Amino acid sequence: MQNPAIEYDYTVAKWFSYLAILFGILGMGIGVWIAFELAFPELNYVAGEYSLFSRLRPIHTNTVAFGFTLSGIFATWYYVGQRVLKVSMAESKFLMAVGKLHFWLYFLGALLAVGSLLVRYTTSKEYAQFEWPFDIVVVLVWVLWGISIFGLIGIRREKTLYISLWYYIATFLGVAMLYLFNNMEVPTYLITGMGDPLHSVSMYAGTNDAMVQWWYGHNAVAFVFTVPIIAMIYYYLPKESGQPVYSYKLSLLSFWGLMFVYLWAGGHHLIYSTVPDWMQTMGSVFSIILILPSWGSALNMLLTMKGEWGQLKENPLIKFMVLASTFYMLSTLEGPIQSIKSVNALAHFTDWIPGHVHDGTLGWVGFMIIAAIMHMAPRFYKREIYSKKLLEMQFWLQTTGIVLYFSSMWIAGITQGMMWRAVDQYGNLAYSFIDTVTVLHPYYTLRGIGGLFYFLGLFMWAYNFYKTMTASKAIEKEPQFASPMAA
């Protein structure tokens, strides 16, 4: 039908995949390091002031969220986008150029921004630490991505947009809105002509700043860690398993549900703070409602495998994706539970919160991106996946890591929360603060080990990917469904 000479062009998708692996190793390596710093404080000093916990923590979160995850999102967009629109990037020189520019600007911006955090430039707002010049770079990168999305849609052959694209579009819009509003800041140098040119001051003060920040912070999780990952799983799981989505109608319905409900739930970060009561309650209630659309998507994924569960045994990529949706269900249940006011009173400010975050990020986001990139590898290079056995080992090692991580953080968080409020028979506080710190040592150690397992798994992934690229057996044509693997 079409000119047979045209093929999908994976150049940009490949580049972003390399970057996802690179940032994954970098970001999670720092994560493991600072996890051990909490258990063994001497580790803080290995690189002088540059390895202090407080310096590295924002670098960890930003590298993982905006390095690893965004690279994964972009890589899959430049792959899935072409395929479900049935149009190749090679057909438009303009879009190809935009894609490449997008990559280089993103890479350069990421390096500069991370570097700026290392030398103490930060606005202190979580997941929005970058100072204003880097924010501008982020906006430019985002605009380029938007051009790429809507440009490719503009030249499509498929009239209807596949559900994954809905989620990519929502990611684009959601992050754009949130990022712009939360990073409203006034560069002090431009107003006064003195001081550090990179310094800025937030447009909002106090409680208002907190509201905007957690409206952003919570929904950055929505639009970076949830929505685009759902976009991925709606493409890769059906494709790898050869089964169409269980119910396409349900996927549409949960899309609108998620879009509407998610944004209201930000208030659950501010329960018992000084924001108005009605907002706290709203955050709490909507967090519970959020279970519905979240589980709608997750069950839809699991039911896609209906009657095909044999594949779970055969295919490690299916394992990764099925466990990812399971972790998605776990963390979308855990989150609402933590949003209930009485539970939040105990859980807030404790290690249960990072525990919850890592269920989602390691289990759901990490596994999905790993699976997506390994699914693409044989299609990128027209070679088999180098080793199925290694992939299996990676799966089990990383799963063990996640279990160690969240179980230790559950115990740590609840222990700490209980000790903070414990009183003796006269009604006096039973423990001084330091008691509640030293008691966590074994759990911090265990968490570090869990993180280390996951981190080692990343190297197996990187090695497997590299070998697939260079040394694996060539295949004649692109596999339709399950990715071919050498034992």
Partner 1 sequence: MDTRLIQGVAYLGLIIFLTFILYGYIIHLYRSEKKGKRNYEKYGKMALDDELSSPPVEPLEENEKESK
Partner 2 sequence: MFSWLEKNPFFFAVGVFVVIAFAGLIEIVPDFAQQSRPVVGAKPYSLLELAGRQVYIKDSCNACHSQLIRPFKSETDRYGMYSLNGEYAYDRPFLWGSKRTGPDLHRVGNYRTSDWHANHMWEPTSVVPGSIMPAYKHMFTNVTDLETAYAEALTVKKVFNVPYDKDIDGDGKVDVPLGSFEQAKQRAMQYALQVAQETKRQDLVDMVKQGKIPEIVALIAYLNRLK
Give yes or no for residue 157 binding partner 1 (CB under 8 A): yes
Please, what's the b/e burial string for 133-143 (b: 16 or more CB within 10 A of its CB; e: otherwise)? bbbebbeebbe
The smaller minimum CB distance to partner 1, of residues 282 and 456, is found at: 282
Coil, helix or strand for 186? strand
Residue 2, binding choice from partner 1, partner 2, none, Cβ under 5 to 8 Å by partner class: partner 1
Dist. CA 116–CA 113, nearest whole Å: 5
In the complex, least distance from residue 266 CB atom to partner 1, rounded to whole angstroms: 17
Residue 482, binding choice from partner 2, partner 1, none, Cβ under 5 to 8 Å by partner class: none
Going by C-alpha positions, the residue among 80, 269, 259 that lies closest to residue 177 is 259
In the complex, least distance from residue 481 CB atom to partner 1, rounded to whole angstroms: 8
In the complex, least distance from residue 2 CB atom to partner 2, rounded to whole angstroms: 22
- Amino acid making up residue 213: Q
- The one among 115, 195, 244, 484 contacting partner 1 by CB under 8 A: 244
For 46, residues 6+ apart whose C-beta sits below 8 A from its C-beta are none
Residue 83, binding choice from partner 1, partner 2, none, Cβ under 5 to 8 Å by partner class: partner 1
The smaller minimum CB distance to partner 2, of residues 104 and 150, is found at: 150
Going by C-alpha positions, the residue among 400, 367, 218, 238 that lies closest to residue 311 is 238
Sites for partner 1 among residues 75-104 (CB under 8 A): 83-84, 86-88
In the complex, least distance from residue 414 CB atom to partner 2, rounded to whole angstroms: 14
Give yes or no for residue 308 binding partner 1 (CB under 8 A): no
For 88, residues 6+ apart whose C-beta sits below 8 A from its C-beta are 6, 7, 8, 9, 82
Residue 404, binding choice from partner 1, partner 2, none, Cβ under 5 to 8 Å by partner class: none
Give yes or no for residue 1 binding partner 1 (CB under 8 A): yes
Going by C-alpha positions, the residue among 453, 421, 419, 459 that lies closest to residue 436 is 419
Please, what's the b/e burial string for 179-189 (b: 16 or more CB within 10 A of its CB; e: otherwise)? beebbebebbe
Stretch that binds partner 1, among 21-29, 101-109, 250-258, 382-390 (CB under 8 A): 250-258
Going by C-alpha positions, the residue among 294, 315, 228, 296 that lies closest to residue 16 is 228
Give yes or no for residue 247 binding partner 1 (CB under 8 A): yes
The smaller minimum CB distance to partner 1, of residues 114 and 149, is found at: 149
H or E segment at 187?
A: strand 185-187
The smaller minimum CB distance to partner 1, of residues 380 and 431, is found at: 380
- The one among 252, 345, 423, 429 contacting partner 1 by CB under 8 A: 252
- The one among 8, 189, 295, 466 contacting partner 1 by CB under 8 A: 8
Sites for partner 1 among residues 24-43 (CB under 8 A): none
Residue 392, binding choice from partner 2, partner 1, none, Cβ under 5 to 8 Å by partner class: none
DSSP string over 295-327:
HHHHHHHHHHTTT-THHHHH-HHHHHHHHHHHH
The smaller minimum CB distance to partner 1, of residues 45 and 150, is found at: 150
- Phi-psi region for residue 271, left (φ > 0), alpha (ψ -120 to 50) or beta? beta
Sites for partner 1 among residues 188-217 (CB under 8 A): none
